[in-house]
Amino acid sequence: MCDTFVALGNSTLDGSVIFAKNSDREPNEAHQIVLIPASDHLAGSMVKCTYIEVPQVEHTYSVLLAKPFWIWGAEMGTNEHGVVIGNEAVFTKAPMEKKTGLIGMDFIRLALERSRTAEEALYGIIELLETYGQGGNCGFQHPMYYHNSYIIADQTDAWVLETAEKNWAAEKVVDIRSISNALTIGGTWDMASTDLVSYAIDRGWCKRKADFHFANCYSDTLYTPLSDAHRRQTCSTELLKRKKGQITVKTMMSVLRSHALEDPGGNYRPDKGITGSSVCMHAGFGPVRGSQSVGSMISQLAAGEPVHWLTGTSAPCTSVFKPVWIEAGLPDIGPAPDGTYDQATLFWRHELLHRGLLRNYRKGMDVILTERDSMEDEFIQQSASLRERNADQRLVFSQSCFSQAELAEKAWLAQILQISKTPTQLLYSIAWRQFNKTARIPGA
């Protein structure tokens, strides 16, 4: 489960396009940030995606990806031309191909490596979808199959693309747009596959063209409601509408960290309930709450060199966003993680803090909130002053931000471990004991 949203220049404070996404995956499905340089390829060569090979293009652009460690593609990413894409799992009545094929994350990487604009990326995904379809397991330890929706943006435009098998509909964003784990396009769109309506009529999902509504006709009746997608999309949309015309990177950070549309008392508890979810998602017991926000990304697509804010770590409420510029390069963040604890990796070092906070979430968050927010404010302010600086200076600053965040998290962890553990709901405790044991967390 995930949430993705975008605000065009007519809705942001500085006129830039700002994109944001949480990647929600299994708690031990480590999140990885990678920068892949541009490359030339031999004519007629093939590229191996997560499961299948497809023809390679002669030149691929440099891409910055935020991805599950074991998947070739990415949940979200950007390229050297300032194109950015994020996907959502959507559940439809159309049959899901369980044999290996292209998965939603593969489409993202392929499109980013081959596109100079959002519109090119849109057409690129559509062409690949209509040629190869979509299919294959997208789950780490628990198999999961789904279709996909996307937000695709660049420095001027953004599109929503929603799919069901090889059918699709696309809608151009006009100001603010949010998607979650449900189809959202209704009876009107800007572009659609040829058979979109007839496919539904032939299967009795609607009687005639005049009655057709993409989301109503194609959405399944089990997983879509269980995902709580409509509530999460409503939350992110309303929070962005309240700030329309004043939206900033900081606004996007706040929305990605939201646990409810209204929480005036700050009473959120991650151990509460076995159903339901929020934009900042915390895992719990059972299949409905099996996902965790394992990584987050915000892209400020201003004229010139876009800046990308990434956590590289789980739960945006417990993480620090750090700046990265593609042309500057990715700071040294250590080796790639996998599904078990490794102190050498950025993701798993943070998990000690994240899972420590779950011992007493309210008091633990009191330890980090003020310093976390002031640190990010300083990063944002200083990054703005680097617009005229060279790539080497930006890389030094980016590395400094990652280092400062790590030092702060180490200090926070020491304080949090001194706070007394509070009782949590039994099923929640059982779930996290198992997560920690499977990941071989120290002391689990």
Q: Is position 49 annotated as part of the catalytic site? A: no
Q: Quick check: 110 and 124 in contact, CB under 8 A?
A: yes
Sheet hosting strand 17-25, strand order edge to edge: 176-179, 3-7, 17-25, 292-301, 307-310, 322-324
Max distance between CA atoms of the chain, in angstroms, equals 64
Q: Quick check: 337 and 347 in contact, CB under 8 A?
A: yes
Nearest-10 Cα torsion for 60, 153, 377, 391: 30
Main-chain phi, psi angles of 441, to 5 degrees? -65, 135
Q: Which long-range contacts (CB under 8 A, 24 or more apart) does 193-197 make?
A: 193/126, 193/130, 193/166, 193/167, 193/168, 193/169, 195/167, 196/167, 196/168, 196/169
Nearest-10 Cα torsion for 388, 389, 394, 396: -150
Main-chain phi, psi angles of 415, to 5 degrees? -70, -40
Phi-psi region of 151 (alpha: psi -120 to 50; beta: other; left: phi over 0): beta
Helix axes 249-256, 229-242, angle to 10 degrees: 150
Phi-psi region of 443 (alpha: psi -120 to 50; beta: other; left: phi over 0): left
Measuring CA to CA, which residue among 369, 368, 358 is closest to residue 271?
358
Question: Among 2, 138, 235, 401, which one carries the catalytic annotation?
Answer: 2
Length of the chain: 444
Other CB atoms within 10 Å distance of the CB of residue 123: 17
Main-chain phi, psi angles of 271, to 5 degrees? -90, 0
- DSSP lists the bridge partners of residue 89 as 148
Beta pairing class for 307-310 and 322-324: antiparallel
- Supply 94's token pair: 């159309």
Main-chain phi, psi angles of 214, to 5 degrees? -55, -55
Q: Quick check: 182 and 215 in contact, CB under 8 A?
A: yes
Gap between the Cα atoms of 383 and 403, Å rounded: 15
Catalytic residues: 2
